[in-house]
């Protein structure tokens, strides 16, 4: 049972960086043994439709549908419905492709019929032929909110509308207090061989997951090996505002600043060769550093890093 | 005030045939003096979205967006969202284009915010630059139901899914009892110079409008001239199941059968040259027959027939 190719692996993920490692993991182990817990703190209603940006990114990636250039949406999509919505006076700052809208329409319909988000996600992933389990962090509504110099913003307002420009003073997760983990997430926390936190934004992608009551405690007392992959390389995020948020919130703009967000949750911290000099600082935090190449440009990069991470659990 | 180019004209319409005359009327009189009352008995929810097929046909036609070949939807539309919905296991027998979905998404959102369908329609038409008033027959939910040899069907199930094939034994309008005309329809019934019933299906397009409590009585006592254009030419409907329904329901398959549906509601009945021989039968029903060419293939056909109808009111 200590062979991770035979036991369940639990991966926590947010958007694009997370999805890259997830797609590598699904090629490395038996995909049916992989459960991916996805952030839903970015979920928002656009035009009356329930949009789950991170769930969609991971779902499209695992289904082979994702747009390799944008990092969001479906490859080769068009934007006719959105143009029409704009003609009717609706806002169009959030890009929603036509195929992509099929996802949002279907999800909204099924939620409207009373299904929980985790049931809806399971059904939709099955229809797309995804073998791994994709599980929203919670069936409750949790909304990531950013206190910024431009006022209080939702995650998508900050990320898309304001292009991560306003300085952030604090982040909180509305509704987290009254929430609980989705049922499959809860049981996987107690019966998985290994737990991987993907190279996702610690504040905006993983932070909401850890804000759900009981999750941090369950990971603290997790039985298997806990591996975290840093999303910061050489003081910069490959994508998104992780580095900027570390600075805004007065943490070191480095993998060390990332690890400070995961106190008590990490056995092995995977950093890039460029950050090998931080190994001692990581050991000082009571965590075992593991150095490799963490850049995932190609499919083989993704599989190589996934194999490396799985070997650490083994 | 007896010049219809200066007074309000009220037109009752359903789908394609009605939309053709309406577009001619909007070119013939000051378009701001034209109010079109549209059937909403075909409205149905698809994928959780409120779809109003007849409203859309007339709205797209007046906005110059309609597909000249199909008679429904927007010209040059694509079907990417629908393909995706089908991948998720949703039914796709009802064609919904991508641009078209922009309409349904917007309408559903505004209805969800608590606006009435007539307010939503007004707002959307203004955004599309339509100068005439487009008014749903009622803000209440009225659903046209057909008792057929294949069981009880909604209008779209009968029309699209079953291609009008099952024999119909009766038609009724669910919810009509508890409904009332939309506010603008109600007031227009008492202050318009003329009333035109467009060449639409008397059972499925105009029938639902007349089923609203008080509408038939208001038209019976209407002050101005009431002109009805027959949708049947030489015993055939140019489009749709009007002729078939006349036969199914044991009425003469002719303009006379149509006129029998409008007892007490018509001053002048416009028929095609091919039906000139029915003039005496029409006079026997107490109505003045008026013979012209009622086929509307081209834009100039539409304007010619509209001018003719307006001249009858004058």
Q: Is the pLDDT of residue A2 over 50?
A: no
Q: How far is A220 from chain B (nearest CA, A)?
A: 38
pLDDT for position B4: 46
- Asked if A76 reaches chain B (Cβ–Cβ under 8 Å), the answer is no
pLDDT for position B2: 46
Asked if A53 and A103 touch (Cβ cutoff 8 Å), the reply is: no
pLDDT for position B1: 40
Of the partner residues A84, A109, A112, the one whose CB lies closest to the CB of residue B99: A84
pLDDT tens digit at each of 314 positions of chain B: 445 445 799 999 998 889 999 999 999 999 999 999 999 999 999 999 999 999 999 999 999 999 877 778 999 999 999 999 999 999 888 889 999 999 999 999 999 999 999 999 999 999 999 999 999 999 999 999 999 999 999 988 998 889 999 999 999 999 999 999 999 999 999 999 999 999 999 999 999 999 999 999 999 999 999 999 999 999 887 778 999 999 999 999 999 999 999 999 999 999 999 999 999 999 999 999 999 999 999 999 999 999 999 999 98
The percent of residues in chain A predicted with pLDDT above 90, rounded, is 88
A269 vs A11: CA distance, rounded Å: 14
Q: Using a CB-CB distance cutoff of 8 angstroms, which residues of chain B are in contact with residue A85?
A: 102, 105-106
Band (A17; pLDDT cuts 50, 70, 90) = confident
| pLDDT tens figures, A292-309 | 999 999 999 999 999 999
The percent of residues in chain A predicted with pLDDT above 70, rounded, is 98
pLDDT for position A5: 47
For residues A189-211, give the mean pLDDT. Answer: 96
| pLDDT tens figures, A89-146 | 998 888 899 999 999 999 999 999 999 999 999 999 999 999 999 999 999 999 999 9
Structure-block tokens of residue A20? 């890259």
B281 vs B257: CA distance, rounded Å: 10
Q: Which CATH number fits domain B9-146+174-313: 2.30.110.10, 3.40.50.10680, 3.30.390.10, 3.40.50.2300?
A: 3.40.50.10680
Q: Is the pLDDT of residue A68 over 80?
A: no
3-state secondary structure chain A: CCCCCCCCEEEEECCHHHHHHHHHHHHHCCHHHEEEEECCCCCEEECCEEECHHHHHHHHHHCCCECCCCCCCECCCCCHHHHHHHHCCCCCCCCCCHHHHHHHHHHHHHHHCCCCHHHHHHHHHHHCCCCCEEEECECCCCEEEEEECCEEEEHHHHHHHCCCCCCEEEEEEECHHHCCECHHHHHHHHHCCEEEECCCCHHHHHHHHHCCCCHHHHHHCCCCEEEEECCEECCEECCCCHHHHHHHCCCCCCHHHHHHHHCCCCCEEEEEHHHHHHHHHHHHCCCEEEEECCCCCCHHHHHHHHHHHHHHHC
The CATH T-level fold of domain A9-68+100-147+174-313 is: Rossmann fold (3.40.50)
Residue B182: DSSP 8-state = -
Nearest chain B residue (CA) to A100: B81
pLDDT for position B6: 59
Nearest chain A residue (CA) to B127: A88
Q: Using a CB-CB distance cutoff of 8 angstroms, which residues of chain B are in contact with residue A98?
A: 78, 80-81, 84, 98, 101
Residues 6+ apart with CB under 8 A from A155: A41, A42, A44, A143, A144, A145, A146, A204
Band (A6; pLDDT cuts 50, 70, 90) = low
A36 vs A19: CA distance, rounded Å: 9
| ipTM for this model | 0.90
B120 vs B50: CA distance, rounded Å: 12
Band (A16; pLDDT cuts 50, 70, 90) = confident
Q: Is the pLDDT of residue A271 over 80?
A: yes
- Asked if A88 reaches chain B (Cβ–Cβ under 8 Å), the answer is yes
Put simply, the answer to whether B88 touches A124 (Cβ < 8 Å) is yes
For residues A239-265, give the mean pLDDT. Answer: 94
């Amino acid at each position: 049972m200590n062979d991770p190719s035979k036991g369940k692996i639990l991966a926590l993920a947010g958007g694009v960086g997370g999805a890259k490692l997830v797609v590598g993991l699904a090629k490395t182990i038996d995909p049916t043994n992989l459960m991916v817990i996805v952030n839903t703190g970015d979920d928002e209603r656009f035009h009356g439709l329930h949009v789950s940006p991170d769930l969609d990114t991971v779902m499209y990636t695992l289904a082979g549908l994702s747009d390799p250039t944008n990092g969001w949406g479906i490859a080769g999509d068009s934007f006719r419905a959105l143009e029409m919505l704009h003609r009717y006076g609706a806002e169009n700052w959030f890009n929603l492709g036509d195929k992509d809208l099929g996802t949002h329409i279907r999800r909204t319909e099924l939620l409207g019929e009373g299904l929980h988000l985790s049931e809806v996600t399971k059904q939709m992933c099955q229809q797309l032929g995804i073998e791994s389990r994709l599980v929203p962090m919670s069936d409750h509504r949790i909304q990531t909110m950013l206190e910024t110099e431009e006022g209080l913003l939702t995650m998508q307002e900050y990320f898309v509308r304001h292009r991560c420009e306003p300085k952030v003073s604090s982040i909180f997760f509305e509704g987290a207090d009254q929430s609980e983990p989705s049922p499959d997430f809860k049981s996987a926390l107690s019966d998985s061989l290994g737990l991987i936190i993907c190279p996702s934004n610690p504040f905006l992608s993983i932070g909401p997951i850890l804000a759900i009551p009981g999750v941090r405690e369950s990971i603290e007392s997790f039985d298997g090996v806990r591996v975290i992959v840093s999303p910061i390389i050489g003081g910069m995020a490959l994508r998104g505002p992780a580095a900027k948020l570390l600075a805004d919130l007065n943490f070191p703009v480095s993998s060390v600043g990332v690890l400070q967000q995961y106190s008590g949750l990490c056995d092995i911290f995977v950093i890039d060769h460029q950050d090998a000099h931080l190994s001692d600082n990581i050991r000082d935090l009571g965590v075992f550093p593991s150095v490799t190449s963490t850049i995932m440009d190609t499919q083989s990069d993704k599989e190589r890093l996934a194999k490396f991470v799985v070997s650490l659990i083994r």
